[in-house]
Amino acid sequence: MNNNSSGVPKRNEIPAECKWRLEDIYSTDALWEEDYQKVKAMAEKLSVYIGRLNEGSEQLLECLNLNADMMRLFEKVYVYAHMRSHEDSTNSYYQGLSDRSDSLNVAVSSANAFMEPDILAIPDERMAAFLKESEGLRFYGRYLDEIRRMKPHVLSAQEEQLLAMAGELAQAPGNIFNMLNNADIKFPVVKDENGNEVEVTKGRYLQLIESADRRVRKDVFDALYSSYWKQRNTIAATLSANVKANIFSARVRKHPSAREQSLFADNIPVSVYDNLINAIHSNLHLMYRYVNLRKKLMGLDELHMYDLYTPMLKEVKMEIPFEQARETVKQGLEALGADYLADLEKGFSEGWIDVYENEGKRSGAYSWGCYDSHPYVLLNHTNTLNHMFTLAHEMGHALHSFYSDRHQPYIYAQYRIFVAEVASTLNEALLMDHLLKNTTDKMQKMYLLNYFMEQFRTTVYRQTMFAEFEKLIHEKAEAGEALTADSLCEIYKALNVKYYGPDIVVDDYIQIEWARIPHFYSSFYVYKYATGFSAAISISDQILKEGRPAVERYKKFLQSGGSDYPIELLKIANVDMSTPEPVDKALKVFESLLDQMEALINA
């Protein structure tokens, strides 16, 4: 591969076998243009059904069919345009297609906006009669039930219009926070390990807080949080306004609380949220053990909050080229059986993956695609352990979509966020188990254990702490108490003391950490990271212990897409998130990692 002077190759310098094949969606851009025009025409045609869905089962069925066909074709148009633009942002032609597909998204959303209100306006007896007389309509039964489940919380047309107009106001706290957090807040200069002055940015903070030099970690911690501390009253006002907007919406829509309104969308019982918090509270002793272990391995008299992100051990260099990563991932996933491995190999060899960075390529990694194509995976692979896990993770997403699309009709294929991280995390867990069983080098093994335990700390414990913070501040506001900078800091500091235990110094500045978390403006979202991770670890544990029966259950879950509510789908894989058991099971795995690490230290 010929690199140019910037060190990053141009798109045309990447070998074809390392690029995804978007030609599998559209072999020419002219075909994309044809479908773009078809979607526009479909959107216009939908308007003939406005106000007519109550006339008869035939009209309702025609409208539902047209909308499903439009959305399926639109998805194809939208995904192709955006993925082409992600290959190379300097390509103005594909940026143009991407912009046009964004405009088409607005047109499509406007065109079918009438459908849900008009479906909800059909009286229950009349809808029952429609379903009885039309077999075609019965296919949409679950889809219609999902819409009509909202009926008790939908207001009159005039009230809904007022709420829609107020929607922009409800977004204001998050928008103000984003401007402050991304544009206006400035951080001081610190000295790096070599004594060079570096202005702190959020990206650099993540690198510097992992520094092996403790002075650097403390300086960057103080630099970041002192900046948020200066803005604490303003940010407390934006977070408080966001909480009040949630409470207003919940009360207007007749939900018992803001939390219940948020969980209602996925039909998740509040007990799932509470069970997560209670299960973590019952297992805080494991986090205390981890903190004590970190303190011991790092050889510190006092462990501080700024010592949590640096590796406990000196980094073990593991150079893993993509070809080796691919083979290791295959070996790691052998427990999922020959069929899964054959489909994984398709992904590796049939143009699903865009492997390397090139000039103008979107950063990071993701899995995407449309119902009428195989899935795609975007990577920016470098030869690190982390990027090997990224490959396993994204292929988990890809194969979840692959099986959902193959086994479900379009309208029931898309799975919800609540279960979206299960397949990806499960792949990582199986890969980690394989590496731990096959690594003979003591330092490498300890490094892997450190890596995996950090995932438990950051994804299960930390996200649950965030979820508990959201629960407490909403309950406080719902009881009529003010959310001030002081009260928010007090709640947040107490949670850190509770979650991390006696072997860490809970530095004063950690009490302001809530002020930098953008997820708090997408309220009651973060708990899904912890539940999804726990479900995945629970299923991977079943697969490793039971073998084939657990694999078969898991495959049925992958094939079920969005054909039922998330809680019911996970039960297919023998995971009942309405009980604390999956979280407890996952934390048993965390405990075994602690046991292994302690045994290696004492060996």
Q: Angle 448-451-453 (CA atoms, 0-180°, nearest 5)?
A: 105
Question: What would the two tokens of residue 513 be?
Answer: 């950490």
Q: Is the dihedral of CA 393, 398, 403, 405 positive or negative?
A: positive
Residue 222: how many other CB atoms lie within 10 Å: 17
Classify strands 353-354 and 189-191 as parallel, antiparallel or unpaired. Answer: unpaired
Residue 413 to residue 561: CA distance in whole angstroms: 5
Residue 356 to residue 204: CA distance in whole angstroms: 23
Query: How many Å is the Cα radius of gyration of the chain?
Result: 26
Q: Looking only at Cα atoms, what is the longest distance across the chain?
A: 78
Residue by residue, DSSP assigns 201-256 as: -HHHHHHHTT-S-HHHHHHHHHHHHHHHHHTHHHHHHHHHHHHHHHHHHHHHTT-S
Question: What would the two tokens of residue 559 be?
Answer: 């094939």
Question: What would the two tokens of residue 376 be?
Answer: 């795609």
Classify strands 376-378 and 353-354 as parallel, antiparallel or unpaired. Answer: parallel
541 CB contacts (<8 Å, ≥6 apart)? 585, 586, 588, 589
CB 387 within 8 A of CB 364: no
* Catalytic one of 55, 125, 334, 394: 394
Residue 51: how many other CB atoms lie within 10 Å: 10
Residues 360-397 as b or e (16 or more Cβ within 10 Å = b): bbbeebebbbbbebbbbbbbbbeeebebbbbbbbbbbb
Residue by residue, DSSP assigns 170-211 as: HHHHHHHHHHIIIII----EEE-TTS-EEE--HHHHHHHTT-
The span from the first CA to the last CA of the chain, in angstroms, equals 45
- For the chain, how many residues are written? 603
Question: What would the two tokens of residue 272 be?
Answer: 């799932």
Q: Angle 489-490-495 (CA atoms, 0-180°, nearest 5)?
A: 95
Residue 53 to residue 21: CA distance in whole angstroms: 41
Q: Which amino acid is at 15?
A: P
Q: Angle 543-386-337 (CA atoms, 0-180°, nearest 5)?
A: 25
Residue 251 to residue 480: CA distance in whole angstroms: 14
Question: What would the two tokens of residue 383 be?
Answer: 């030869």
- The question of whether 478 is a catalytic residue gets the answer no
Catalytic residue positions, numbered: 394
